[in-house]
Amino acid sequence: MSTLRPSSVAMHGEENHAKVPEEALNQQDLDAGARFVLKSKGSWLHCGYHLTTSIVAPPLLSLPYAFTFLGWTAGIFCVLIGALVSFYSYNLISMVLEHHAQLGHRQLRFRDMAHDILGPRWGWFYVGPIQFMVCYGAVVASTLLGGQCMKTIYLLSNPDHETMKLYQFVIIFGCFMLILAQIPSFHSLRHINLVSLVLCLSYSACATAGSIYIGHSSKAPEKDYSVMGESDDRIFGIFNAIAIIATSYGNGIIPEIQATIAPPVKGKMFKGLCVCYAVVAVNFFSVAISGYWAFGNQAKGLVLSNFLDINGRPLVPKWFVLMTNIFTILQLSAVGVVYLQPTNEVLERAFADPKSKEFSPRNVVPRLMFRSLSIVIATTIAAMLPFFGDINALIGAFGFIPLDFILPLVFFNLTFKPSKRSPIFWLNIILAVVFSTLGLIAAVAAVRQITLDAKTYKLFANV
């Protein structure tokens, strides 16, 4: 390991630990980003709320669409494997973080782990930029999807007066995000993320119930579960679906979430993951199976879009569509602000003064200014590029797969150095190779899809 840096928490031995309060130890030598954004005050339950918001998000509503490229057997298999591997991977990265904390070096960021385990260049020039791209991309995607849900509500309420455009709804949602972005720390989001947990259960239940209702009604489309397209399209579609599923399980901020836990951290992340994956099991499988059962290969990129016919008329009661979209909008705001935390931490580290009080004018003014600027930029990108779904698949292939399915396995093997004869060593090697290959092919598939759709792209398009 390299020498300790201000971005990590140095803890003393047992003799000194008895003389210095634990809270004081955790505040020594911290930069402003760690001190003000990544406060280590939460419980394992708060950790569960943060994890659920970051993983169980509206992208899960795209799972029926992923099934259209895979079919029943492969679709269920991929969703199950995604759940098992991501849970395993997140536990490994948590164990690595706990190990370094017990050695007196608590790592608070993903790039800290890469710096100490792989070397400084990996932290600053690979993991750091990729994590920032993934998290900021999630903020842009949340803002765009929030605008699209608001437009759906508008069209249902005013079917004959379509005067407002999509980019206007994106701006409205961005203004709401502008307020939430000022919440000072990750730990401060714990109550919002508890509400978010309830909301994701609510809109997933609505998506499942709506799909079953339509599937049994006379308005249901003819059920066709065949995989459409030529052989090349089918092959690339499979890897595009894998990227969608990986993005649905993606997190990318496990170290930052674990950093919010009050010491000692041992065992708390596992409990939080159990809370999260209980919600994952309920939501992911119910939405994926019911949506694909109801709409077959006609399932759209967001299954809620299947709740309207080609003329925009709801196939379920109008109040039901409105309620589902409201639940989705509210949870999207929580998802967006969670994935904004790495950006906030970088801004705080660069422009805040750790020696001044958190709410002193010296820190409040730059915090307000730069956080607002980051939301304005994200909102502008979302309004300009309403086809961000294609770009998001590329981000998932280049970002979520390495961060969540490859690096944790590498970190574990390099940290604990298991015997080359042990099953866990070869399991990690095999999974890392498999997901590296899948990530590369999924990236090629995403680039191909962007190229095919490029002729329909238009800035500020009203899609």
Mean pLDDT of the chain: 88
Q: Which among 212, 211, 247, 225 has a CA at the least distance from the CA of 67?
A: 225
Give the torsion through C-alpha atoms of 316, 176, 38, 435, to 10 deg: 40
Q: Which among 451, 51, 408, 443 has a CA at the least distance from the CA of 242?
A: 443
The kind and range of the H/E element at 345 are: helix 341-351
Contact 130, 402 (CB under 8 A): yes
Q: Is the peptide bond before 221 cis (omega within 30 degrees of 0)?
A: no
What whole-number distance in Å separates Cα of residue 215 and Cα of residue 306?
Answer: 11
Phi, psi of 41 (to 5 degrees): -130, -5
pLDDT reported for residue 13: 40
Q: Which among 279, 261, 303 has a CA at the least distance from the CA of 67?
A: 303
**Between helices 63-102 and 110-117, what is the axis angle to 10°?**
60
Q: Which among 128, 126, 96, 132 has a CA at the least distance from the CA of 111?
A: 128
pLDDT reported for residue 228: 76
For residue 267 the two structure tokens come to 């065992």
Phi, psi of 35 (to 5 degrees): -70, -40
Residues 412-437: tens digit of each pLDDT? 999 999 999 999 999 999 999 999 99
Confidence of residue 389 (pLDDT cuts 50, 70, 90): low
How many residues in total does the chain contain?
Answer: 463
Residues 357-371: tens digit of each pLDDT? 999 999 999 999 999
What whole-number distance in Å separates Cα of residue 463 and Cα of residue 148?
Answer: 9
**Torsion-angle region of residue 301: left (phi > 0), alpha (psi -120 to 50) or beta?**
alpha
Average of per-residue pLDDT across 210-220 = 91
For residue 453 the two structure tokens come to 């759709």
Share of the chain above pLDDT 70, in %: 92
CA 293 → CA 54, 71, 255, distances in Å?
27, 10, 37
Contact 337, 16 (CB under 8 A): no
Average of per-residue pLDDT across 387-399 = 74
Contact 343, 132 (CB under 8 A): yes
What whole-number distance in Å separates Cα of residue 191 and Cα of residue 27?
Answer: 24
**Torsion-angle region of residue 296: left (phi > 0), alpha (psi -120 to 50) or beta?**
left
Q: Which residue has 């709506």 as its token pair? A: 210
Contact 58, 331 (CB under 8 A): yes
CA 310 → CA 119, 305, 306, 313, distances in Å?
54, 10, 9, 7
Domains of the chain with bracketed CATH: 8-456 (1.20.1730)
- Whether the per-residue pLDDT at 23 is higher than 50: the answer is no
For residue 172 the two structure tokens come to 């409205």
Average of per-residue pLDDT across 21-31 = 54
Confidence of residue 93 (pLDDT cuts 50, 70, 90): very high
**Torsion-angle region of residue 263: left (phi > 0), alpha (psi -120 to 50) or beta?**
beta
What whole-number distance in Å separates Cα of residue 140 and Cα of residue 389?
Answer: 10
SS3 173: helix
For residue 193 the two structure tokens come to 């993320």
Share of the chain above pLDDT 90, in %: 67
Q: Which residue has 């998000």 as its token pair? A: 57
Confidence of residue 78 (pLDDT cuts 50, 70, 90): very high
pLDDT reported for residue 345: 95
pLDDT reported for residue 242: 86
For residue 29 the two structure tokens come to 């030598």
Residues 268-307: tens digit of each pLDDT? 999 999 999 999 999 999 999 999 999 999 998 889 999 9
Task: Tell me the helices (H) and strands (E) count for the chain, helix number first.
Answer: 20, 2
